[in-house]
Amino acid sequence: MRRAPTKPPAVTLKSESELALMRQAGRIVAEVLAGLSGRVAPGLTTEELDRTAREMTAEMGAIPSFKGYGGFPASVCVSVNDEVVHGVPGPRVLREGDLVSIDFGAIWQGWQADAAVSVPCGRVSPAARRLMQVTREALHLGIAQAEPGKRVCDIAAAVQGHVERNGYSVVRELVGHGIGREMHEPPQVPNFVEAASRMVLRPGMTLAIEPMVAAGSEQVQQDADGWTFRTRDGSLAAHFEHTVAVTEQGPSILTLA
Protein backbone atom coordinates (compact mmCIF):
# COMPACT_ATOMS: atom_id res chain seq x y z
CA MET A 1 0.00 0.00 0.00
CA ARG A 2 1.05 3.61 -0.45
CA ARG A 3 2.47 5.13 2.70
CA ALA A 4 -0.06 7.40 4.39
CA PRO A 5 0.16 10.00 7.17
CA THR A 6 0.22 8.24 10.50
CA LYS A 7 -2.61 8.46 13.02
CA PRO A 8 -3.48 6.38 16.09
CA PRO A 9 -4.33 2.98 14.58
CA ALA A 10 -7.20 0.82 15.76
CA VAL A 11 -5.79 -2.68 15.35
CA THR A 12 -8.22 -5.60 15.21
CA LEU A 13 -7.02 -8.78 16.92
CA LYS A 14 -8.26 -11.99 15.30
CA SER A 15 -9.63 -15.02 17.12
CA GLU A 16 -8.55 -18.59 16.38
CA SER A 17 -11.66 -19.16 14.27
CA GLU A 18 -11.02 -15.99 12.31
CA LEU A 19 -7.40 -16.98 11.75
CA ALA A 20 -8.61 -20.31 10.41
CA LEU A 21 -10.68 -18.50 7.78
CA MET A 22 -7.72 -16.28 6.89
CA ARG A 23 -5.53 -19.36 6.61
CA GLN A 24 -7.95 -20.85 4.08
CA ALA A 25 -7.88 -17.60 2.12
CA GLY A 26 -4.10 -17.81 2.34
CA ARG A 27 -4.03 -21.36 0.96
CA ILE A 28 -6.02 -20.17 -2.04
CA VAL A 29 -3.62 -17.26 -2.56
CA ALA A 30 -0.64 -19.61 -2.37
CA GLU A 31 -2.14 -22.05 -4.86
CA VAL A 32 -3.01 -19.31 -7.34
CA LEU A 33 0.47 -17.79 -7.08
CA ALA A 34 2.04 -21.20 -7.62
CA GLY A 35 -0.11 -21.71 -10.71
CA LEU A 36 0.72 -18.29 -12.09
CA SER A 37 4.43 -18.65 -11.38
CA GLY A 38 4.47 -21.94 -13.27
CA ARG A 39 2.92 -20.27 -16.32
CA VAL A 40 5.43 -17.41 -16.62
CA ALA A 41 7.33 -17.92 -19.87
CA PRO A 42 8.44 -15.90 -22.90
CA GLY A 43 5.51 -15.16 -25.19
CA LEU A 44 2.83 -15.12 -22.48
CA THR A 45 0.85 -11.92 -22.01
CA THR A 46 0.22 -10.44 -18.58
CA GLU A 47 -3.54 -10.49 -19.23
CA GLU A 48 -3.30 -14.28 -19.65
CA LEU A 49 -1.96 -14.44 -16.10
CA ASP A 50 -4.92 -12.37 -14.95
CA ARG A 51 -7.36 -14.71 -16.68
CA THR A 52 -5.73 -17.73 -15.04
CA ALA A 53 -5.98 -16.05 -11.63
CA ARG A 54 -9.69 -15.38 -12.11
CA GLU A 55 -10.39 -18.93 -13.24
CA MET A 56 -8.42 -20.58 -10.43
CA THR A 57 -10.00 -18.39 -7.77
CA ALA A 58 -13.51 -19.11 -9.04
CA GLU A 59 -12.83 -22.86 -9.07
CA MET A 60 -11.91 -22.68 -5.39
CA GLY A 61 -15.02 -20.67 -4.49
CA ALA A 62 -13.17 -17.50 -3.49
CA ILE A 63 -13.20 -13.88 -4.65
CA PRO A 64 -10.14 -11.98 -5.98
CA SER A 65 -9.38 -9.16 -3.54
CA PHE A 66 -7.96 -6.70 -6.03
CA LYS A 67 -10.66 -6.71 -8.72
CA GLY A 68 -12.45 -3.37 -8.40
CA TYR A 69 -10.58 -2.44 -5.20
CA GLY A 70 -10.24 1.32 -5.45
CA GLY A 71 -11.12 0.89 -9.10
CA PHE A 72 -8.29 -1.53 -9.92
CA PRO A 73 -9.29 -3.21 -13.21
CA ALA A 74 -7.79 -6.68 -12.77
CA SER A 75 -7.60 -9.61 -10.36
CA VAL A 76 -3.82 -9.72 -10.05
CA CYS A 77 -0.95 -7.23 -10.19
CA VAL A 78 1.85 -8.12 -12.63
CA SER A 79 4.91 -5.88 -12.45
CA VAL A 80 7.86 -6.39 -14.80
CA ASN A 81 11.53 -5.38 -14.45
CA ASP A 82 11.62 -1.78 -13.16
CA GLU A 83 7.95 -1.90 -12.13
CA VAL A 84 7.77 -2.28 -8.36
CA VAL A 85 4.08 -2.99 -7.68
CA HIS A 86 0.52 -2.55 -8.97
CA GLY A 87 1.30 -3.35 -12.60
CA VAL A 88 -1.96 -3.64 -14.56
CA PRO A 89 -2.25 -6.80 -16.72
CA GLY A 90 -2.79 -6.21 -20.42
CA PRO A 91 -1.44 -7.11 -23.85
CA ARG A 92 2.21 -6.84 -22.76
CA VAL A 93 4.16 -9.91 -23.89
CA LEU A 94 6.71 -11.32 -21.45
CA ARG A 95 10.21 -11.73 -22.83
CA GLU A 96 13.19 -13.93 -22.04
CA GLY A 97 15.08 -12.43 -19.11
CA ASP A 98 12.21 -10.44 -17.61
CA LEU A 99 11.88 -10.27 -13.82
CA VAL A 100 8.16 -10.70 -13.11
CA SER A 101 6.53 -9.81 -9.78
CA ILE A 102 3.03 -11.20 -9.15
CA ASP A 103 0.85 -9.91 -6.30
CA PHE A 104 -2.48 -11.58 -5.51
CA GLY A 105 -5.12 -11.50 -2.79
CA ALA A 106 -8.24 -13.58 -2.15
CA ILE A 107 -11.35 -13.33 0.00
CA TRP A 108 -12.78 -16.43 1.69
CA GLN A 109 -15.99 -16.06 3.68
CA GLY A 110 -15.28 -12.38 4.20
CA TRP A 111 -11.64 -12.76 5.25
CA GLN A 112 -8.62 -11.78 3.18
CA ALA A 113 -5.06 -12.88 2.56
CA ASP A 114 -2.39 -11.33 0.36
CA ALA A 115 0.98 -12.50 -0.97
CA ALA A 116 3.48 -11.82 -3.74
CA VAL A 117 6.39 -13.52 -5.48
CA SER A 118 9.00 -12.47 -8.01
CA VAL A 119 9.93 -15.06 -10.62
CA PRO A 120 12.24 -15.27 -13.64
CA CYS A 121 10.88 -15.39 -17.17
CA GLY A 122 13.14 -17.95 -18.77
CA ARG A 123 16.82 -17.33 -18.10
CA VAL A 124 17.48 -14.08 -16.26
CA SER A 125 20.70 -12.24 -15.50
CA PRO A 126 22.74 -13.06 -12.39
CA ALA A 127 21.91 -9.54 -11.16
CA ALA A 128 18.17 -10.22 -11.37
CA ARG A 129 18.52 -13.60 -9.69
CA ARG A 130 20.54 -12.14 -6.82
CA LEU A 131 18.02 -9.32 -6.32
CA MET A 132 15.19 -11.85 -6.05
CA GLN A 133 17.18 -13.99 -3.61
CA VAL A 134 18.04 -11.08 -1.31
CA THR A 135 14.45 -9.79 -1.33
CA ARG A 136 13.08 -13.25 -0.49
CA GLU A 137 15.62 -13.57 2.33
CA ALA A 138 14.63 -10.13 3.66
CA LEU A 139 10.98 -11.21 3.78
CA HIS A 140 11.74 -14.24 5.92
CA LEU A 141 14.05 -12.28 8.22
CA GLY A 142 11.21 -9.81 8.72
CA ILE A 143 8.69 -12.58 9.37
CA ALA A 144 10.97 -14.04 12.06
CA GLN A 145 10.54 -10.81 14.05
CA ALA A 146 6.72 -11.05 14.15
CA GLU A 147 6.58 -12.27 17.75
CA PRO A 148 4.55 -11.01 20.71
CA GLY A 149 6.37 -8.25 22.57
CA LYS A 150 8.46 -7.17 19.61
CA ARG A 151 7.61 -4.09 17.59
CA VAL A 152 6.73 -3.29 14.01
CA CYS A 153 10.11 -1.54 13.76
CA ASP A 154 11.86 -4.85 14.54
CA ILE A 155 10.36 -6.25 11.33
CA ALA A 156 11.43 -3.11 9.49
CA ALA A 157 14.98 -3.23 10.87
CA ALA A 158 15.45 -6.86 9.84
CA VAL A 159 14.28 -6.16 6.29
CA GLN A 160 16.15 -2.89 5.87
CA GLY A 161 19.38 -4.21 7.35
CA HIS A 162 19.56 -7.23 5.06
CA VAL A 163 18.62 -5.26 1.95
CA GLU A 164 21.10 -2.45 2.54
CA ARG A 165 23.95 -4.77 3.57
CA ASN A 166 23.59 -6.32 0.13
CA GLY A 167 23.78 -2.98 -1.66
CA TYR A 168 20.09 -2.52 -2.48
CA SER A 169 17.40 -0.02 -1.44
CA VAL A 170 14.02 -0.48 0.23
CA VAL A 171 11.25 1.51 -1.38
CA ARG A 172 9.90 3.98 1.19
CA GLU A 173 6.80 5.34 -0.51
CA LEU A 174 5.14 1.90 -0.31
CA VAL A 175 4.69 -0.20 2.82
CA GLY A 176 3.15 -3.40 4.14
CA HIS A 177 -0.06 -3.34 6.15
CA GLY A 178 -2.44 -5.02 8.51
CA ILE A 179 -5.04 -7.26 6.89
CA GLY A 180 -8.22 -9.09 7.90
CA ARG A 181 -11.76 -8.34 6.83
CA GLU A 182 -10.25 -5.43 4.90
CA MET A 183 -7.31 -5.61 2.53
CA HIS A 184 -5.62 -2.65 4.22
CA GLU A 185 -5.94 -2.33 7.98
CA PRO A 186 -3.71 -0.76 10.65
CA PRO A 187 -0.86 -0.88 11.26
CA GLN A 188 1.34 0.15 8.39
CA VAL A 189 4.38 -2.15 8.17
CA PRO A 190 7.26 -0.23 6.58
CA ASN A 191 10.45 -1.89 5.35
CA PHE A 192 12.56 0.81 6.98
CA VAL A 193 12.83 2.01 10.57
CA GLU A 194 10.84 5.09 11.54
CA ALA A 195 9.47 6.41 14.83
CA ALA A 196 5.86 5.68 13.87
CA SER A 197 6.55 1.95 13.61
CA ARG A 198 7.12 1.32 17.33
CA MET A 199 3.78 -0.40 17.90
CA VAL A 200 4.11 -3.51 20.07
CA LEU A 201 3.08 -6.76 18.39
CA ARG A 202 0.32 -8.76 20.09
CA PRO A 203 -1.17 -12.21 19.47
CA GLY A 204 -4.01 -12.00 16.98
CA MET A 205 -2.43 -9.30 14.84
CA THR A 206 -2.27 -10.18 11.14
CA LEU A 207 0.25 -8.43 8.92
CA ALA A 208 1.07 -8.37 5.23
CA ILE A 209 4.86 -8.16 5.31
CA GLU A 210 6.19 -7.23 1.89
CA PRO A 211 9.71 -6.07 1.09
CA MET A 212 9.76 -4.00 -2.11
CA VAL A 213 13.40 -3.71 -3.11
CA ALA A 214 15.17 -1.74 -5.83
CA ALA A 215 18.59 -2.53 -7.25
CA GLY A 216 19.27 1.20 -7.49
CA SER A 217 17.64 4.22 -5.86
CA GLU A 218 14.67 3.94 -3.49
CA GLN A 219 12.83 6.65 -5.46
CA VAL A 220 9.71 5.58 -7.37
CA GLN A 221 7.24 7.23 -9.71
CA GLN A 222 3.68 6.39 -10.71
CA ASP A 223 2.68 5.78 -14.32
CA ALA A 224 -0.08 7.64 -16.11
CA ASP A 225 -2.37 4.62 -15.57
CA GLY A 226 -2.68 5.74 -11.95
CA TRP A 227 -1.54 2.35 -10.63
CA THR A 228 1.88 1.14 -11.70
CA PHE A 229 4.83 2.21 -9.54
CA ARG A 230 8.28 1.90 -11.09
CA THR A 231 11.79 2.83 -10.03
CA ARG A 232 12.63 6.38 -11.04
CA ASP A 233 16.13 5.41 -12.20
CA GLY A 234 14.92 2.42 -14.23
CA SER A 235 16.66 -0.14 -12.00
CA LEU A 236 15.24 -3.62 -11.44
CA ALA A 237 12.81 -4.19 -8.57
CA ALA A 238 11.62 -7.30 -6.72
CA HIS A 239 8.67 -7.92 -4.41
CA PHE A 240 7.93 -10.78 -2.01
CA GLU A 241 5.06 -10.91 0.49
CA HIS A 242 3.29 -13.18 2.97
CA THR A 243 0.32 -12.69 5.26
CA VAL A 244 1.53 -13.49 8.76
CA ALA A 245 -0.28 -13.96 12.09
CA VAL A 246 1.37 -13.03 15.37
CA THR A 247 0.70 -15.92 17.78
CA GLU A 248 1.83 -16.95 21.26
CA GLN A 249 3.98 -19.59 19.53
CA GLY A 250 5.59 -17.03 17.19
CA PRO A 251 4.94 -15.96 13.62
CA SER A 252 2.60 -18.12 11.55
CA ILE A 253 2.58 -17.71 7.77
CA LEU A 254 -1.01 -17.90 6.54
CA THR A 255 -0.26 -17.81 2.82
CA LEU A 256 1.11 -21.31 2.41
CA ALA A 257 -0.37 -24.07 0.23
CATH placement of domain 16-253 = 3.90.230.10
Does residue 209 contact residue 179 with C-beta atoms inside 8 Å? Answer: no
Please name which of 70, 63, 106 lies closest in space to residue 88, comparing C-alpha atoms: 70
Q: From CA 28, how far away is CA 61, in angstroms rounded? A: 9
Block mean pLDDT (10 aa), the chain, length 257? 58 97 98 98 98 98 98 98 98 98 98 98 98 98 98 97 98 97 97 89 98 98 98 98 98 97
> What is the domain partition of the chain in residue ranges?
16-253
What residues contact residue 167 under an 8 Å CB cut-off, 6+ apart? Answer: none
Does residue 61 contact residue 147 with C-beta atoms inside 8 Å? Answer: no
C-alpha dist (Å) from residue 203 to 10, 33, 141, 175, 224: 15, 27, 19, 21, 41
User: In 10 A of CB 226, how many CB atoms?
Assistant: 11
Q: What is the pLDDT of residue 195?
A: 74
Q: The whole model's pTM is what?
A: 0.96
Q: What is the pLDDT of residue 5?
A: 53
User: How many helices (H) and strands (E) are present in the chain, helices listed first?
Assistant: 4, 15
Q: What is the pLDDT of residue 18?
A: 98
Which phi and psi angles does 57 have, rounded to 5°? -65, -45
